[in-house]
Amino acid sequence: MARFPDVSTAGTRVPASIFARLREHLARFPGDVIPLQIGDTHLAPPSGLAEVEWAAMTPADLYAYGSPNGCAPLVEAIADKARTANGIEITTAGVQIAVGATHALSCTVQAVCDPGDELILLTPHWPLIRGMALGFHVVPIEVSLAELAGAITPRTSAIYLATPNNPDGEMLSRAQLEAIVEIAVRHDLWLVSDEVYEDYGYDAAHVSLASIPGALERTVTVFSFAKSYAQAGLRVGYALGPEGLISTIKKLVNHSVYNVPVAMQRAALGALRAGGPFLREARASYVAARDRSRARLIAPAASPPGGAYLWVDFRGLTGDDCMPILERCAAHGVLLAPGSAFGERCGGFARLCYTGVTPARLDEGIDRINTVLAHL
């Protein structure tokens, strides 16, 4: 149907950047801006493009199209890691490399939901998952864990969760995961488990959903080299799942990017092989940053058991919309992510990333926030 100059309904419904409103306030700040809004790390990766032995590879290894599935050595190393570190019993046919966890999740949503289906999101949730659903004409339904069983309808196709979670750093216990699997089995649902922060559980051990009895055949688990190994810009992530579903996801990867850039997969493989010491150091650095930021910030925030964020509760100060506080923070040169991006009921919260800047800049950013709060 002719629609020029209008764009598609999916294109219209997918939300734009959540930071647009803060930019004009930021423009009032002349100095060095402290970006506590973005989920990133200030640490250098354990291995990057510089460490790959490019000269040892033939041009066909590097410059020809790669396999849409992913480079064989990386796929094999991941299948190994899935079995030993995650307790997920898969073979290489259950692994799909993607352009970051973002791409893996986008293909997964497309693979398990039809237009009009409902995708349950445990709230608060990683923002892009909602936009992905909308982009595929899938209906996102936000519920708390306590509300989950009552939220299933005949149109529910899948449940998405993240553990440790972004934005609140919560981790689901084995008992909670078992309860979710039980609901999924009872209602014939797919499970989409976002475990990109698997290596950053501090107060509890991370449990992979697919390792729970009954979960393996219905769970896609997504991981990321961005989060585990500080390689966000290289854009390598992967999905693990039952072979039939992974072969569908593979077709979707094939039709969206063909293959993930081979050079980036080489660097990811290097990180996976050499990254053990990095994971230990990064975990120690992040937990120290969590404790440091939690102790310094004067606004209420729980101490999250894992992840990379404080979930700051401004409701006592501004009710259900803390944008006025975030605008003032932006005018003081420090950015936080508005809670409204993470759920319909989250407008009174903001997310503070404590891993993205050095400890000194973290202190400085929190002092700026405290100054704003002291002058409300």
Ligand X SMILES: Cc1ncc(COP(=O)(O)O)c(C=O)c1O
For ligand X, the binding residues (CB under 6 A) are: 39, 100-102, 126, 162, 166, 194, 196, 224, 226, 232, 237
Shortest distance (Å) from residue 99 CB to ligand X: 7
Of 25 and 47, which has the nearer Cβ to ligand X?
Answer: 47
Shortest distance (Å) from residue 232 CB to ligand X: 5
Cβ–Cβ < 8 Å for 100, 180: no
Of 162 and 372, which has the nearer Cβ to ligand X?
Answer: 162
Of 102 and 157, which has the nearer Cβ to ligand X?
Answer: 102
CA distances from 247 to 72, 160, 201, 334 (A): 15, 20, 31, 44
Q: Which residues of 32-65 are buried (b: 16+ CB within 10 A; e: fewer)?
A: ebbebbebbbebebbbbeeebeeeeeeeeeeeee
Of 39 and 347, which has the nearer Cβ to ligand X?
Answer: 39
Q: Name the residue with tokens 């750093």.
A: 169
Of 101 and 191, which has the nearer Cβ to ligand X?
Answer: 101
Of 168 and 194, which has the nearer Cβ to ligand X?
Answer: 194
Shortest distance (Å) from residue 126 CB to ligand X: 4
Shortest distance (Å) from residue 95 CB to ligand X: 15
Distance between terminal CA atoms of the chain?
53
Shortest distance (Å) from residue 328 CB to ligand X: 25
* Residue, CB closest to ligand X: 100
Q: Are strands 219-224 and 190-194 parallel, antiparallel or unpaired?
A: parallel
What string of DSSP letters covers 296-364?
A: H--S-B---SBSSEEEEE-HHHHTT--HHHHHHHHHTTEE-EEGGGG-TT-TTEEEEESSSS-HHHHHH
Of 239 and 372, which has the nearer Cβ to ligand X?
Answer: 239
Cβ–Cβ < 8 Å for 352, 36: yes
Shortest distance (Å) from residue 271 CB to ligand X: 13
Q: Give yes or no for a cis peptide into 124 (omega within 30° of 0).
A: yes
Shortest distance (Å) from residue 132 CB to ligand X: 10
Shortest distance (Å) from residue 221 CB to ligand X: 12
Here the tokens at position 347 are 């407008």
Of 157 and 193, which has the nearer Cβ to ligand X?
Answer: 193
Q: How far is CA 182 from the centre of its chain?
A: 24
- The span from the CA of 109 to the CA of 122, in Å, is 15
Select from 312, 322, 317, 326 the least CA-distant residue to 354: 312
